[in-house]
Structure 1
């Protein structure tokens, strides 16, 4: 079980913005379940996870770069960081690979911003923006690390620190629409997950009782 003294995983920021209970189930209770979405994400990250450094058009590109922030007690791995050359030195530009397409919520952006906060602390250089690469659209979406996103990210990290220190999983989210795509729905909401099966069973049972089969004549 995670404790307040252990670093908060960067991935937990994305989980917590999406659903704090999901973050607790994964990072406190160590529960995980794969579905189609998580499997697609695993395939997408396979290349980045190989690591390595490359140069292209004067840009240093580092795959699978370890990151950490002592101030925020964060640690994790960046899929890709491009170090852009400039007159004042290199400017880090983090890039996170995601399956699907851009979301209506800011969970992906907050995870990327958390990487930027780590990079700023590690390099001493400002990180004004980064990008999310979505596999479905095959395009980068530039993410400015403005004051609002930084505030959301730091507040989420504070929520996670309190969550880990308390060691208690919060109740299910009221935003039930987010549960549909969550691989943990069967573990988080077993009654909700099983409801369609029960409805079908009860309907079939009621139909059978209302119109019982006629025994064949001997």
Structure 2
């Protein structure tokens, strides 16, 4: 059983933190929220999945939707809701498969790092609950295709990364500190762009610095 406390972290917020730490801080510490076309598209896809029947049976595969999961080990203490959990029964027993839905496949890679870590966090929950080694997939709505994620060769490394990540998130949350702005090519698609205004802030900072230098030079002259 998972007992929620101040240290409990949602798996979704792990993905938010990796996507942009400043955006995560605005969402989780300042309770800021805004939507754009990308967020709306993702919400529609997840709503369609989560509004499906609780369980479907097709060709011997039981498919469960909106499945709550957790891992209450001290180093993790995380929870989340799976888009989809498939359970296949064969001679060797039950095979569990996580399917995470995403609206758009990345252009130059099979998956983004933040999405991969989100699915890994889901996996350690399912593995812990069912004492298994589940399969993991990301389904992309735009290509209508699945990409399989394999963690066997890097499981310890990813576990260490996740634990360190969760520790940083808890430190920010306890101090009430929002991580600093770091502009990137993801800013253009962020729903909080107008709230965060990374380019404007950087530009204003640069302009102010230039004004101060000009004033100092005028005084010196």
**Same-fold call, TM > 0.5?**
yes
State whether residues 4 and 165 of structure 1, in contact with CA within 8 Å, keep that contact through their aligned partners in structure 2.
no
Gaps of 5+ in 1: 196-218
CA distance in 2, matches of 1:140, 1:40: 18
* Displacement after TM superposition at 1:186 (Å): 1.2
Residues 191-206 of structure 1: matches in 2 within 5 Å? Answer: 192=200
Q: Residue 140 of structure 2 aligns with which residue?
A: 134
Q: 1:153-193: CA deviations, max 9, x gaps?
A: 333223222222222111012x4212111111111126628
Q: Give the secondary-structure state (helix, strand or coil) at the position aligned to 1:125.
A: coil
Q: Normalising by the residue count of structure 2, what TM-score does the alignment of the two structures yield?
A: 0.78
State whether residues 132 and 143 of structure 1, in contact with CA within 8 Å, keep that contact through their aligned partners in structure 2.
yes
Q: Residue 69 of structure 2 aligns with which residue?
A: 67
Q: Give the secondary-structure state (helix, strand or coil) at the position aligned to 1:47.
A: helix
State whether residues 4 and 164 of structure 1, in contact with CA within 8 Å, keep that contact through their aligned partners in structure 2.
no
Q: 1:15-46: CA deviations, max 9, x gaps?
A: 11111122221122211110010010011112
* Displacement after TM superposition at 1:5 (Å): 1.9
Q: Normalising by the residue count of structure 1, what TM-score does the alignment of the two structures yield?
A: 0.79
What count of residue pairs does the alignment treat as equivalent? 191
Q: Residue 159 of structure 1 aligns with which residue?
A: 168
Q: 1:123-158: CA deviations, max 9, x gaps?
A: 11122x311111111111111124244443333223
Greater shift after overlay, 49-58 or 157-166? 157-166
Which residue, 82, 90, 96 being the options, matches 2:100?
A: 96
State whether residues 132 and 140 of structure 1, in contact with CA within 8 Å, keep that contact through their aligned partners in structure 2.
yes
State whether residues 111 and 153 of structure 1, in contact with CA within 8 Å, keep that contact through their aligned partners in structure 2.
no
CA distance in 2, matches of 1:84, 1:102: 29
Specify whether residues 178 and 190 from structure 1 end up closer, same or farther in structure 2 by C-alpha distance, changes over 3 A only: closer
Which residue, 159, 178, 181 being the options, matches 2:186?
A: 178
CA distance in 2, matches of 1:63, 1:24: 29
CA distance in 2, matches of 1:192, 1:137: 35
Q: Residue 30 of structure 1 aligns with which residue?
A: 31
Which residue, 110, 123, 128 being the options, matches 2:117?
A: 110
CA distance in 1, matches of 2:120, 2:130: 15
Q: Give the secondary-structure state (helix, strand or coil) at the position aligned to 1:176.
A: coil
CA RMSD after TM alignment:
2.3
Q: Give the secondary-structure state (helix, strand or coil) at the position aligned to 2:105.
A: coil
Q: Residue 150 of structure 2 aligns with which residue?
A: 144
Q: Residue 200 of structure 1 aligns with which residue?
A: none
Largest Rg, 1 or 2: 1
Q: Residue 80 of structure 1 aligns with which residue?
A: 84
Q: Give the secondary-structure state (helix, strand or coil) at the position aligned to 2:14.
A: helix
